[in-house]
Structure 1
Amino acid sequence: MMDRHPIPPERRHRFEAVIRVIDLIVYAAVFIGGVYALIGTPATVADELRGAMWLVAVWAGLLCLGGLVGFVGRLSRFWMMEVPATVLAFFGILIYVVVLGRFAFTSITAAVAALLIVVAMGLVARRWAELQIFATDPDAHDFRSRMAEALRRRTQDFPRRHQ
């Protein structure tokens, strides 16, 4: 259907820009979550992690690094930066879900917060899957040619379709 009735280019570019802004907001939120985890660890989490406070540093580091590198990669359109960033962010958010999951059903507010965290994790996973499209080039058969092509290429807002 899309091949016979394509979206006009200007409308497509607007939607692509909206998707890019959403990705930037998610990366910024992941980074801010990491900063918050590092400097404002809730008492309930500190109590839960007694004896394993090193996990807070790992958790915050994954979120901060994943969010920052992902944001810079998406902003600069160097998509290769986003691939490891999405993995770091995903696992940082996963730790968040595991640590705070126990408190998710203590109130409606906590349940909504936990649900929004899972949504952020889903958006990061969606972006990772989308980046796999950029990483697959049928004309690049060996590792060296794939890396050269990947370094040469910047993303638009998301992969283009070939006519």
Structure 2
Amino acid sequence: MDRHPVETARRRRIEAAIRIIDLTVYAAVLAGGVYALVSTPATIVDELQGFEWLIGLWASLLLAGGGVGFVGRLSRYWFVEVPATVAAFFGIFIYFVVLGRYAFSSVTAAVAAALVLVAMCTMARRWAELQIFATDPDAHDFRHRVADALRRRTTNFVNRHR
């Protein structure tokens, strides 16, 4: 990459597209949380009989993960995305476990389970990517780490030197 860097205008378009994709994923997770809270499918309610509290947990994790992640990515304060991706991941995981029981009952259910798995992997990928921003060997105590996180914001593109 250093020998043959991508042209600046093209790189900016690609990085803007990545940001839009991230925002779309967070919005979809948020929408899933609203859907889980307002209109949980009857099959899931029946499946969780006796454990209906999981629906509230599931919805809360999706709402928090999607909402906070969206705001963090939109405002470019990446540090709020770290817990948001974890919340979203576990919200999606609950759905994957519940849906997994039906995964082999039909092709449609298998496709749905596969897409939920992809969403969960997307959250894990974003969390791993955020760990790059979160590592600063010069920050030794919690107060300095928080101050640095509040000062830093991600930009739409990464500056590269030729």
Pairwise TM-score range, normalised by the shorter structure: over 0.9
Deviation at 1:35, TM superposition (A): 1.1
Matched, 1:6 2:12: no
Partner of 2:124: 125
Q: Percent identity?
A: 70
User: Contact 1:133/1:159 (CA < 8 Å) preserved in 2?
Assistant: no
Structure 2: distance between partners of 1:118 and 1:12: 29
TM-score (norm 2): 0.93
Which residue of structure 1 lines up, in the alignment, with residue 82 of structure 2?
83
Who is 1:66 aligned against?
A: 65
Aligned: 1:136 with 2:135? yes
Cα–Cα, structure 1 residues 130 and 142, in superposed 2: closer, same or farther, change >3 Å? same
Alignment check: 8 A CA contact 2:16 2:157 kept: no
Structure 1 unaligned blocks of 5 or more = none
Partner of 1:93: 92
1:45 aligns with 2:63: no
Instruction: Tell me the matched-pair count.
Output: 162
In 2 relative to 1, CA 162–121 (structure 1 residues): closer, same or farther, beyond 3 Å? farther
Assess, with a 3 A threshold, how the Cα gap between structure 1 residues 65 and 100 changes in structure 2: closer, same or farther.
same
TM-score normalised to structure 1 length: 0.92
Partner of 1:20: 19
Residue 73 of structure 1 aligns to which amino acid in structure 2? G
Deviations 1:2-37 (A, max 9, x none): 111111111111111111111111111111111111
The letter of the residue matching 2:6 is: I
| Cα distance in 1, alignment partners of residues 143 and 65 from structure 2 | 26
**Structure 2: distance between partners of 1:159 and 1:127:** 17
What amino acid is aligned across from residue 2 of structure 2 in structure 1? Answer: D
* Deviations 1:86-145, CA, capped at 9 Å, x for gaps: 000000000010111101111111111111111111111111111111111233333332
Supply the AA of the counterpart residue of 1:155. T
Task: Give me the whole-angstrom Cα distance separating, in 2, the residues matched to 1:15 and 1:48.
Answer: 42
**CA 1:141/1:79 → structure 2, altered by over 3 Å: closer, same or farther?**
same
1:147 aligns with 2:146: yes
CA RMSD of the aligned region, Å?
1.7
CA distance in 2, matches of 1:98, 1:25: 24
